[in-house]
């Protein structure tokens, strides 16, 4: 038998659900009733499930988000969960879970540039609260030999008309240092690429003043490249990529 004990929303339209089971949901049953904790995204898809317990009766209360992408869960046990049982009618326990880092998700719509190319954002590596390098965000199909920057926020997604395209980030926004697109010399084409290592930027290695939340594990960050497109007249002479959403990982 499996039953829920409580649920709590996450920051992205999903939900955490906790409960008890005398079966094997995500691991072999340890004995009598185990505890389980699951996460479902905004579309109702289960993204992860964990199960744990002792060889006695164990049960949870409702989960409580920690405000930084993790979850607190408390409950009771007749066994030795996290430490030796103290006797009596049961012991209390408290656990903290950090949600597994999700891969970056692309969303929103890029602005077609003046040459008819569509800038496309992407990422390689892993975002980290402690590493000095290794999470490269890039935008391809950019007009060569132009300047750009990465706009970012921890306030979530948006889709507002902006300079002939779409602003995909909810305000307030921050901006990284300026980067050069490079590409083929002596001609104007879409061979440019904007690139920045956000781990290096977050630790101050690239200059400027990064937002402190870029070094806080569990923070959900949204980013979008902005650049110059001299083929459009002011005030819409801007290049706008689509956007990425990702979570800062602990390491």
> What are the pLDDT tens digits along the chain (251 aa)?
888 999 998 877 788 999 999 999 888 888 889 999 988 877 787 878 889 999 999 999 989 988 766 789 999 999 888 888 887 778 899 988 876 666 788 999 999 999 999 999 999 998 988 889 999 999 999 999 999 999 999 999 999 999 999 999 999 999 999 999 999 998 999 999 999 999 999 999 998 899 999 998 878 899 999 999 999 999 999 999 999 999 888 76
Count of structural domains, the chain? 2
Give buried/exposed letters for 83-121 (b at 16+ CB in 10 A, else e): eeeeeeebbebebebebebbebeeebebbbbbeebebeb
Statement to judge: residues 113 and 231 lie in one domain: yes
Statement to judge: residues 180 and 154 lie in one domain: yes
This prediction has a pTM of 0.67
Strands 147-153 and 179-180, by their bridges, are: antiparallel
The CA–CA distances, whole Å, from 219 to 70, 115, 151, 211, 222 equal 9, 36, 16, 12, 10
Statement to judge: residues 88 and 122 lie in one domain: no
Statement to judge: residues 37 and 130 lie in one domain: no
Which residues does 81 contact at the CB level (< 8 Å), separation at least 6?
52, 53, 54, 58, 91, 93
The parent domain of residue 81 ranges over 2-98
The CA–CA distances, whole Å, from 36 to 15, 23, 33, 144, 216 equal 14, 10, 10, 52, 26
The pair of structure tokens assigned to 232 is 């459009």
Statement to judge: residues 222 and 239 lie in one domain: yes
User: Which of residues 31, 66, 98 is at a domain's end?
Assistant: 98
User: What's the rounded Cα separation, in Å, for the pair 186 and 192?
Assistant: 13
Statement to judge: residues 120 and 236 lie in one domain: yes
User: Which of residues 98, 131, 146 is at a domain's end?
Assistant: 98
User: Which of residues 78, 98, 118 is at a domain's end?
Assistant: 98
The CA–CA distances, whole Å, from 10 to 64, 130, 176, 196 equal 9, 24, 28, 29
């Amino acid at each position: 038998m499996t039953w829920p004990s409580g649920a709590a929303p996450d920051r992205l339209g999903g939900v955490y659900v906790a409960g008890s089971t005398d079966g094997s949901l995500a691991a072999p049953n340890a004995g009598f009733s185990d505890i389980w904790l699951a996460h479902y995204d905004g579309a109702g898809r289960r993204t992860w499930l964990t199960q744990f317990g002792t060889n006695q009766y164990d049960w949870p209360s409702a989960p409580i988000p920690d405000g930084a992408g993790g979850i607190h869960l408390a409950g009771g046990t007749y066994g030795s969960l996290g430490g030796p049982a103290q006797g009596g009618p049961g012991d209390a326990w408290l656990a903290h879970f950090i949600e597994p880092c999700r891969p970056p998700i692309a969303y929103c719509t890029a602005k077609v540039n003046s040459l008819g190319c569509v800038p496309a954002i992407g990422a390689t590596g892993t975002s980290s609260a402690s590493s000095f390098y290794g999470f490269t965000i890039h935008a391809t199909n950019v007009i060569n030999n132009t300047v750009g920057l990465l706009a970012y926020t921890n306030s979530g997604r948006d889709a507002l008309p902006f300079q002939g395209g779409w602003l995909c980030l909810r305000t307030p926004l921050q901006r990284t240092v300026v980067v050069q697109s490079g590409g083929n010399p002596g001609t104007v084409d879409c061979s440019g690429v904007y690139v920045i290592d956000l781990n290096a930027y977050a630790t101050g290695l690239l200059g400027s003043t990064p937002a402190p939340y870029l070094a806080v594990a569990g923070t959900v960050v949204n980013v979008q490249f902005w650049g110059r497109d001299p083929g459009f007249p002011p005030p819409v002479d801007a290049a706008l990529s689509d956007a990425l959403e990702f979570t800062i990982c602990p390491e």
